Structure 1
Amino acid sequence: MTISRLDLKVFKPEQLGSSDDAGGQRTKLAVESGKLNELFRAISDIDHAQSAVDIVKCYPALDTPDTSILLDGHVFISKKPTDDLVSLLIAEAATLDDADRMTDMVEILESSVRAGQLIRNRLIGFLEGQDTFPKSYLQSSYLFNGTEYWSNVTLLQGQTVVISVEYPGAESALYPRFEHFCQIQETVTGGPTGIVKFKPAIPFITPNYDITINGESGCTKLRYTSDNDGIKYHGVTKLTAASTTNTLAVESTQTELLPKVKTVNPLTGKSIVEGGSGDVPSTVIKNNVSQPYIYGQYTYIFDVPDILDNDFVNEVLGFKPRLTASNFSYWNISVTGTTVTANTTSNLPGVDTLTIEYVSAAKYGVYSSETAFPDFKKISLGTTKMVLTFLNTAHGSVSMIETSSGNFVSGGVRLVQLDYHTGAVTKFLDARGDFTVHYDCLIEESTSSANTVSFALATDSPIYDTFYVTISNAAGDTLLSGSSDNAGVITGLGINGNITDANVQLTFSQAVDLTTLRYDISETVTLSPPPELYGLNPLRIKNGGVVNAFTAWNTVSVQHTELQVVSSPAPAQTYNARANARFVDITDAEGKSLWTLANTHYTWVKATGVVTLNSDFTGFTAPFILTDTIGEIALVTDVQEQALILAAPLSQSYPIGANVSSVQNLGDLQARIGTVRDMTAWANNWDLDGSPATGNMNTVDFPIEVRNDTAVNEDWVLIFTSATAFRCVGRRLGQIATGDTLNDFAPVNPLTLQPYFIIRSGAFGGGWQAGEAIRFMSYAASKPVMLLRTVQSGHSQITTDRAVLAFRGNES
């Protein structure tokens, strides 16, 4: 039969709302065209005040009483909500099925962040409600040139980690397995003293490192997180420039799935920090060398004649040459002599220049305390690795890092003070007696004529006009200072420069001591709401809920709609829509469409765009709006922050403000039956078939019958209880009916009041025995779709709003 607009419907699930039971199977309750908000509850004053997230399920379907095919059915959000505080997304996940309820959909969304690489096992035991642990658990030891050093893990403020209880075998009643996702409250580096703060607190007690469960100790572990790309989001944005090419300039390609609250956090007394693993930040300033990034080129060679390349710099200090472009972790950096080679297997969207940062041998050198300290040099702050060996061998040796400028502490006791300008060591003996001292470090010129410096701020979200910097000159008798305006221009007493993004470039009027540089700046901090507020844990959503609404190698729909008011409608009136528009419609004040299959109210000629009225619209409510939409589907090959790159240019011109929507492809929609197979016994194992049965179904002459308007996505089994009788069980629906081989079997779907499928009696034949089974899959002419509506906190003057979900496809 011919498929028309009337046959494409979006059905409601068994239950709407936000309860744990919301969702479920497809019903026959269709969402009225133009009223997608029937799926969502109204936005309340509380929603506007504290923000809200609503998750709903719906079923785009081909609703015909046969098995017609809708080729490549697809859905997309064709229009942004009018209210800027409201956004809409489609969440696509292969694991979403017809039976899923709200709890299942939340679990799908929260699966995007999982426990990842192990940081430390044998963690201390936590008490219920505990939100700290010692910094010493962020340390691990390693050997360098036969000397033991401590390597320290750094966790950044806002970073998500997982504290878990893991062990083999049966679950312990006292220490159940669990994963606790938490956020680090302050940037911290492992060390002998201090604590690590995290939120939220641990909800259960955990086993101490010396407690054994099922033969394993050290069951409390600390892990990084890893991202799961099993979820794809689809959203809508607008063109910011007219386009006819394969490059679309858009407002944004990301959307905030979770509401956010922004606040200001002051940062004071910061020094120039670039790497280093000690408690004292390193003042090592990196040089850099750049070259243009070429899309599609995967190998770049940099000539770096002044590179300082050795194990102490690279491994001990952690100052390996690195790429500063986004996603640099996907690049392999290697050094041969004075040549740095960067290799990757993927492209970097939105990158113009590749820059290698490295430690320069022209500025720094490696010094070992076994040699005389050179003249006119000083030790670079934060680069000293020191080992103390006690003369009393019973006490062995300890490795130490700077805990404050020049001070080296072990077990909370200061043992050494180091003079950075002379290399001299002052010992402070304790009960363990005397010791020898060996240290390695970087050294630099004690006075410098260099009058410029560049460094990265300690925040990615700086507020420029709060920046204030001070520094002493090389002689130490003059203090230079400067501040920034809101454009990032820095001026002051002996200092000028600028801030670009989070990078600072300063020029001084005289030689300075960089170790004395200190700056203050405020940052914009985004606060994530507590999980219980929306039922979603922000720590388990990638990027804290800022998700990509567009992805490479996915299709997008570009469309633009023009509106005309139809005044005093009467037969024979004509209006001019755009020729060859994709869609033309007339709607009334309530959003009801006046389109009918018989053209009762208007006729549209696609080739010319002429719309002729055939009635006076009796029964509908004025005012009436004529809409015509031009549009096309295109393939995205690259996604940038504010641009989409298409595989081919657009076929026509689209103006500023045209909508660009990411498309979820549902595939061909048609009710059908999968392979039918039989087996000698049924063992409740849905993932495994058994040996063939004695009987055999004749589905060639008597195929199992289904219809688009009632078939469901389900795995079925008929289990024989005698030679002729059987039970029908669905994997998700459970037992739905009993039947026999002597009569047609047509179990009724209570949500549609039509059979799930029909098996004619002639298909069964004979020879069946009790315990044998028949298995098959039924496929619906619909697929479940998950919609997410986010309301940001704020005041809105918009009292009515609607979102538009487009459902399209091609007739077979």
Structure 2
Amino acid sequence: MLRTDLKIFLPERLGNEPNAGGHRTSTPLTNGKLNEVFTAISDVDYARSSFELVKLYPAVATADDSRLQDARIFLSDQPADPLVTTLLVQSNQLQDTSLLPEMMDMLASAKFHGLATATSEIVAESQEIKIDRVHANLAPTTSRRIDHTGVKPPVETSGYRIARQQSYGKLYNISINIPDLITDRPFFYGSYQLYDYTQRRYVTAIMPQTDFDLVGTTISNKTTLSSPVREGEFFNLFYLPNEFYRFHDFVLDGSALTLGPGERVEPKTVKIKIPNSYITITDNGNGELITQGRLVATIDYNTGVLNALEPIDFDTPGKELGAIIRTKPITVREFQFSVSQDAMPETLYIRCKSAQGTDLSASCDAQGVITGQGITGSFSATSMVTLSFEVDVLPESVSYDYSDLVYEPVPTPPGGIDRSKLPGNGIVPIFHANNLVSIQSRVRTPHPNLTNGQVINVVADADWVDILDGSGASLYSADDSNYAYDRQTGAVTINPGIATFTPPYIITTIQSELAMVTDIDATTLQTLIPIKRTYPAGSTISSVYMLEDLQAKSVDERTLAAWQNNYEDSGTPASNSINTTQYPVELTNIGCISQRWAIVFTSDGYDVLGEYVGKIYSGVTAEDCAPINPFTAAPYFILRKEAIGNGLNPGEAFLFTSQSASRPIMATRSVSPGHSHIEQDSSTIAFSGVY
């Protein structure tokens, strides 16, 4: 089998008409030729948007039944125009007979395959790929920028100090020592970022104090985390430190709260008990202590005056009765908080005040690096902001500005494909856990002319080398008549066949490998095993659509004593047999289709019926049964007359199923409204396997 035996065939009809789609034809896509699948993008498309859905047939196009093992396709190149998106669509419901309305219905439950760009170098032996996106436009969308100013981080962090434990893989068990924790009555809780696949974004998981054990000053989780802390991320423990807080114990220190200069009672930390009750009552943050709908007491946080409206028991040891007192204004040197998952890093601006009242500020760049006056920090891929200050800062003074983009689907223009039922509001995931990706580093070099005997040095150890001429024709040949590539040295030698091609030329070399994805977050793919090579930033990462083995073959052969128009029937066998042991059903990769067949015998011969194609042939037992596939000009199958013999009795049938060496797939292209100066844009589908 040669590279040229792998072809992608067109269906019966392309376009947006209801009858578009259908069976495979004998017309293959031409490498490098534009506008064979999708129409040219017009000014009208950029003004009001467009959406196209087509069917294609990757196939092994040989006149025998050679097998292509582990066949697969993927988008290896994407449009340079950010307004244009091409995706491959995988649906188990897709059949050779499927037309456009059925194909549109399949999109609601389909899997989508696209590509992304590596945002940093992919290091050999690593298992992490940083990419620019994990979702893409299925439908045309518009975006609008929304500015947010003066946003305050969650107030519950303002009085707490943060201790962190970093994950170096998948962290399930937490153990953090807090030497400055208030041990009389500790207050703390935990949080970390986990990816919510239903919302397709990071969310903050909060763990209350009751989820932890405290031994001395070491805090650990009672049970294993259900979702781990991802590699490189942190588990954050927020706690009240003894530098700024003390505990006033009503049992030991008395019921009167005496506050020193600058001290105040911390809201939601006052605990009291009424006589003859086991229930402790905690203030609600508004200075009220309520139980069973009754206001039992009030507390003034600034003076410490506790006003009892009914009797209160202040003498029950073991109940932690008392209050946390803030001893001085809180200051921090480190601060961490999360912002909207859709925030644009380059729009993030931080403001705060030092303990002495000095205004400080910092800004973030597109790579997530935060710098400013006395402030450094980072904006992580999980939208977590981490700040470090050179001086003491009042945490309640921290605020930030940012902008995000909101994407909205574009209404269907007159005469277009109805997009109202498209999933994900037009935005869909293009990578999937437990699915393969193809990592590709592509180098294209233009050459005004190439001559016989010329040697060009390109990258060594390339997995793919091709040359295209000025018309887009490939110079590849099985006998290297046009060029030869030495994989060890990286030398491309031009051969005499170059005379039949026209300049200019483009030499393309690709280094690539496959990797299994085990985990996905907003900007990172985790792989099952280490990556073999180092790939530069800008490499292409494509989600792989597995077609599995492609080979024309016959299965489930049997006879029936009575044909009942049921292709699943496996009842009483016919009185005679069809000799497929010595004369098996013959199939070619080019002619075979996926179909359940019935050869129903009559008084003077037989009829050939297909489950989806209907009656296609009538024959006699004295001749081979070889119905022609009109779309490929080759037989659907051949059943030799020797296998048929004298045939079966009238009304009896021979049934079998043919499996083709091709699979129908769907591809989409969306054009979002906007202005573009790119005159030529295209996508490339790679089709490969083992043979």
TM-score, length basis structure 2: 0.72
Separation of aligned partners in 1, 2:526 and 2:119: 10
Separation of aligned partners in 1, 2:163 and 2:449: 67
Report the equivalent of 2:678.
798
Report the equivalent of 2:81.
83
| Secondary structure, aligned partner of 1:698 | coil
C-alpha change, 1:728 and 1:20, in structure 2 (3 Å) is same
C-alpha change, 1:639 and 1:598, in structure 2 (3 Å) is same
Alignment of 1:736 with 2:619, yes or no, is no
Moved more, 22-31 or 628-637: 628-637
Report the equivalent of 2:132.
252
Separation of aligned partners in 2, 1:306 and 1:21: 73
2:409 corresponds, among 519, 524, 529, to 529
Deviations 1:731-774 (A, max 9, x none): xx25233657746544443423443223345545666574x665
C-alpha change, 1:531 and 1:446, in structure 2 (3 Å) is farther
Report the equivalent of 1:677.
558
Shift of 1:591: 0.7
Identical amino acids, percent of aligned pairs: 23
Separation of aligned partners in 1, 2:618 and 2:182: 81
1:611 corresponds, among 452, 477, 494, to 494
C-alpha change, 1:265 and 1:726, in structure 2 (3 Å) is same
Unpaired segments ≥5 residues, structure 2: 197-201, 272-282, 310-319
Separation of aligned partners in 2, 1:39 and 1:725: 40
Preserved CA contact (<8 Å) 1:449 1:511: no
Alignment of 1:323 with 2:186, yes or no, is no
Report the equivalent of 1:62.
60
Report the equivalent of 1:593.
474
Moved more, 37-46 or 524-533: 524-533
C-alpha change, 1:420 and 1:31, in structure 2 (3 Å) is farther
Query: AA paired with 2:471?
Result: E
C-alpha change, 1:251 and 1:352, in structure 2 (3 Å) is closer
Shift of 1:466: 7.0
Separation of aligned partners in 1, 2:688 and 2:53: 22
Deviations 1:83-113 (A, max 9, x none): 354443333444444333344444444326x
2:511 corresponds, among 614, 628, 631, to 631
Alignment of 1:14 with 2:12, yes or no, is yes
2:442 corresponds, among 560, 585, 598, to 560
| Secondary structure, aligned partner of 2:97 | coil
| Secondary structure, aligned partner of 2:58 | strand
Alignment of 1:712 with 2:593, yes or no, is yes
Report the equivalent of 1:237.
117
Separation of aligned partners in 2, 1:255 and 1:300: 32
Query: AA paired with 2:97?
Result: A
C-alpha change, 1:285 and 1:449, in structure 2 (3 Å) is closer
Shift of 1:554: 1.9
C-alpha change, 1:500 and 1:613, in structure 2 (3 Å) is same
Preserved CA contact (<8 Å) 1:264 1:522: no
Deviations 1:17-71 (A, max 9, x none): 2345433321212111212641111112233345544333211111122212223
Written as runs of structure 1 = structure 2, the 5 A alignment for 1:677-696 is: 677-678=558-559, 690-695=570-575, 696=577
Query: AA paired with 2:590?
Result: D
Report the equivalent of 1:759.
639
Query: AA paired with 1:335?
Result: F
Deviations 1:230-262 (A, max 9, x none): x25242536854966657876536352345544
1:74 corresponds, among 72, 75, 85, to 72
C-alpha change, 1:29 and 1:465, in structure 2 (3 Å) is closer
Deviations 1:196-245 (A, max 9, x none): xxxxxxxxxxxxxxxxxxxxxxxxxxxxxxxxxxx252425368549666
2:165 corresponds, among 271, 291, 298, to 291
2:583 corresponds, among 699, 702, 727, to 702
Deviations 1:542-590 (A, max 9, x none): 9x72634475662525343443525385xx5534354775444443322
Preserved CA contact (<8 Å) 1:716 1:777: yes
Alignment of 1:335 with 2:197, yes or no, is no
Separation of aligned partners in 1, 2:322 and 2:642: 88
| Secondary structure, aligned partner of 1:48 | helix
Query: AA paired with 1:323?
Result: Y
Query: AA paired with 2:424?
Result: I
Separation of aligned partners in 2, 1:505 and 1:728: 72
Shift of 1:78: 3.0
Report the equivalent of 2:424.
541
- Provide the aligned length of Structure 1 versus Structure 2: 634
Shift of 1:483: 4.9
Written as runs of structure 1 = structure 2, the 5 A alignment for 1:143-154 is: none
Separation of aligned partners in 2, 1:296 and 1:468: 31
Which structure is richer in relative contact order (CA contacts within 8 A, separation 6 or more)?
A: 2
Separation of aligned partners in 2, 1:261 and 1:568: 45
Separation of aligned partners in 2, 1:21 and 1:425: 81
Separation of aligned partners in 1, 2:493 and 2:390: 71
| Secondary structure, aligned partner of 2:44 | helix
Shift of 1:728: 1.8
Report the equivalent of 2:21.
23
| Secondary structure, aligned partner of 1:541 | helix
2:234 corresponds, among 349, 354, 358, to 354
- Computed over aligned residues only, the root mean square deviation of the Cα atoms, in angstroms, reads 5.5
C-alpha change, 1:787 and 1:603, in structure 2 (3 Å) is same
Shift of 1:529: 1.6
Preserved CA contact (<8 Å) 1:462 1:521: no
2:667 corresponds, among 763, 779, 787, to 787
Written as runs of structure 1 = structure 2, the 5 A alignment for 1:467-506 is: 483-486=361-364, 488=370, 500-501=379-380, 502-503=384-385, 505=387
Shift of 1:674: 1.5
Shift of 1:624: 3.0
1:456 corresponds, among 328, 337, 340, to 337
Separation of aligned partners in 1, 2:297 and 2:421: 45
Query: AA paired with 2:616?
Result: A
Shift of 1:611: 1.7
C-alpha change, 1:809 and 1:469, in structure 2 (3 Å) is closer
Deviations 1:596-640 (A, max 9, x none): 56767x3536466322224633xx5x4331525253434346677
Preserved CA contact (<8 Å) 1:463 1:521: no
Preserved CA contact (<8 Å) 1:247 1:646: yes
Query: AA paired with 1:737?
Result: I
Unpaired segments ≥5 residues, structure 1: 113-230, 275-281, 314-318, 386-400, 410-414, 428-439
Separation of aligned partners in 1, 2:441 and 2:112: 22
Separation of aligned partners in 2, 1:650 and 1:273: 43
Report the equivalent of 1:664.
545
Deviations 1:134-186 (A, max 9, x none): xxxxxxxxxxxxxxxxxxxxxxxxxxxxxxxxxxxxxxxxxxxxxxxxxxxxx
Moved more, 666-675 or 718-727: 718-727
Preserved CA contact (<8 Å) 2:16 2:52: yes
TM-score, length basis structure 1: 0.62
Separation of aligned partners in 1, 2:255 and 2:564: 80
Query: AA paired with 1:41?
Result: T
Separation of aligned partners in 2, 1:773 and 1:330: 64
Preserved CA contact (<8 Å) 2:53 2:669: yes
